[in-house]
């Protein structure tokens, strides 16, 4: 675990040279990477979401592609196109940005559902089907999507099936007063900073193997199951229309194991479950109409469930 922790620490230090603060954002990107999942980043523009993703791709020596989602975007703009070769007199398949390691889907909720559906196969199966051919995507493959919750004009609601494919939904907060001053003082120098490669692509598989082998006791499995089952008790929690599925159960365990590894432990604690619960579960609840009318958030419900469900 010492080598593992040292690698993660070096990675955070390198990214921290250009990204001031945003500790939860940095942590959650690493957790998603180690768990083989995707991450949805939400809050207002200008909080260094794009710069953070780009910095991580450089420090991890991964191919990076940024896709600006717009209302007129087509599925073929993401995945492929047939380009005519006049010399060979044939149509050739041209692979588009989805065939990279780090995909930044910027303002993902600005594209219609037809484009969102084009991402589902790649996010879940890590492959793309073009006609009668199936292409495996490179490993690792990770979608990091951003959305602005404040603007409603020209945006589309993400389908629940797609939201469920994101391992985490991280709310990116404003920097503190000290961090804001630090950003201001470094604003000119940050653009000139070059990110060094800290972890190579082949090492990511080794780091994931360490996370997979982190010990989980039977009591931890039971604790996770009690949290998930509580959400399905709509009599006790009438604000919930539909509770969490088994995919949420698996995601909560995977994220908690990654968090334990980052913190230098080879076993999971209940505190890991509690710390990751909001990021893993907040986007998977389907709220009742009454809850939405009363402006009750999914985070409020998660807090209540965590308070009601006993650890032991």
Residue with the larger pLDDT of the pair 4 and 186? 4
Every domain of the chain with CATH number 3.40.50.300 lies at: 20-198
Looking at the predicted structure, is the pLDDT value of residue 206 above 80? yes
b/e 62-81 (16+ beta carbons within 10 angstroms → b): bebbbbebeeebebebbbbe
Cβ pair 98, 78 in contact under 8 A: yes
Every domain of the chain with CATH number 1.10.8.80 lies at: 214-308
**Taking all residues of the chain, what is their mean pLDDT, rounded to a whole number?**
85
Cβ pair 284, 241 in contact under 8 A: no
Would you place residue 303 in the very low, low, confident or very high pLDDT band (cuts 50, 70, 90)? very high
The owner of tokens 């709509």 is 234
Would you place residue 82 in the very low, low, confident or very high pLDDT band (cuts 50, 70, 90)? low
Cis-peptide, bond into residue 140, ω within 30° of zero: yes
Looking at the predicted structure, is the pLDDT value of residue 292 above 90? no
Domain 20-198 has CATH 3.30.300.30: no
What was the pLDDT predicted at 153? 64
C-alpha closest to that of 259 among 20, 54, 37: 37
Looking at the predicted structure, is the pLDDT value of residue 41 above 70? yes
What was the pLDDT predicted at 255? 96
143 phi and psi angles, rounded to 5 deg: -100, 125
Would you place residue 174 in the very low, low, confident or very high pLDDT band (cuts 50, 70, 90)? confident
Lowest mean pLDDT among 51-55, 210-214, 304-308: 51-55
What was the pLDDT predicted at 271? 95
130 phi and psi angles, rounded to 5 deg: -120, 105
What was the pLDDT predicted at 188? 64
Give the tens place of pLDDT for each residue, 210-239: 999 999 999 999 999 999 999 998 889 888
Looking at mean pLDDT, say which of 15-24, 32-41, 50-59 comes out highest: 32-41
What was the pLDDT predicted at 202? 85
Looking at the predicted structure, is the pLDDT value of residue 91 above 80? no
Three-state SS at 126: coil
Distance of CA 109 to the CA centre of its chain: 15
Q: Which listed CATH number (1.10.3210.10, 3.40.718.10, 1.10.8.80, 2.40.50.1020) goes with 214-308?
A: 1.10.8.80
Would you place residue 43 in the very low, low, confident or very high pLDDT band (cuts 50, 70, 90)? confident
Residues 6 or more apart from 137 whose CB is under 8 A from it? 98, 99, 122, 126, 127, 128
Looking at the predicted structure, is the pLDDT value of residue 49 above 90? no
Rounded Cα distance, 310 and 256, in Å? 17
What was the pLDDT predicted at 152? 64
Give the tens place of pLDDT for each residue, 248-270: 999 999 999 999 999 989 999 99
What was the pLDDT predicted at 227? 95
What was the pLDDT predicted at 231? 92
Looking at the predicted structure, is the pLDDT value of residue 85 above 90? no
What was the pLDDT predicted at 95? 66
DSSP 149-177: SS--TT--PPPHHHHTT-SEEEEPPPPPH
Looking at the predicted structure, is the pLDDT value of residue 306 above 80? yes
What was the pLDDT predicted at 257? 96
pTM of the model: 0.88
């Amino acid at each position: 675990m010492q080598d593992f922790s040292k690698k993660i620490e070096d990675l955070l230090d390198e990214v921290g040279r250009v990204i001031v603060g945003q500790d939860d954002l940095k942590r959650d990107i690493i957790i998603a990477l180690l768990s083989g999942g995707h991450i949805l980043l939400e809050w207002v523009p200008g909080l260094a979401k794009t710069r953070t993703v780009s910095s991580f791709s450089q420090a991890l020596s991964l191919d990076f592609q940024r896709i600006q989602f717009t209302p007129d975007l087509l599925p073929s703009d993401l995945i492929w196109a047939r380009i005519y070769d006049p010399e060979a007199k044939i149509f050739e398949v041209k692979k588009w940005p989805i065939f990279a390691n780090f995909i930044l889907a910027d303002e993902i909720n600005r594209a219609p559902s037809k484009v969102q559906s084009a991402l589902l196969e790649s996010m879940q199966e890590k492959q793309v089907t073009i006609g009668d051919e199936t292409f495996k995507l490179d490993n690792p493959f990770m979608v990091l999507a951003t959305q602005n919750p404040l603007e409603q004009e020209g945006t589309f609601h993400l389908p629940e099936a797609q939201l469920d494919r994101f391992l985490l939904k991280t709310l990116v907060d404003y920097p503190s007063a000290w961090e804001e001053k630090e950003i201001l003082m470094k604003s000119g120098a940050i653009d000139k900073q070059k990110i060094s490669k800290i972890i190579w692509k082949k090492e990511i598989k080794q780091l994931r193997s360490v996370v997979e082998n982190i010990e989980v006791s039977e009591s931890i499995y039971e604790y996770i199951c009690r949290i998930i089952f509580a959400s399905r008790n709509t009599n006790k929690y009438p604000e919930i229309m539909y509770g969490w599925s088994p995919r949420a159960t698996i995601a909560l365990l995977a994220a908690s194991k990654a968090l334990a590894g980052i913190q230098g432990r080879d076993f999971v604690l209940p505190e890991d479950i509690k710390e990751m619960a909001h990021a893993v579960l907040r986007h998977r609840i389907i709220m009742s109409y009454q809850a939405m009318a009363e402006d009750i958030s999914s985070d409020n419900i998660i807090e209540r469930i965590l308070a009601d469900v006993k650890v032991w």
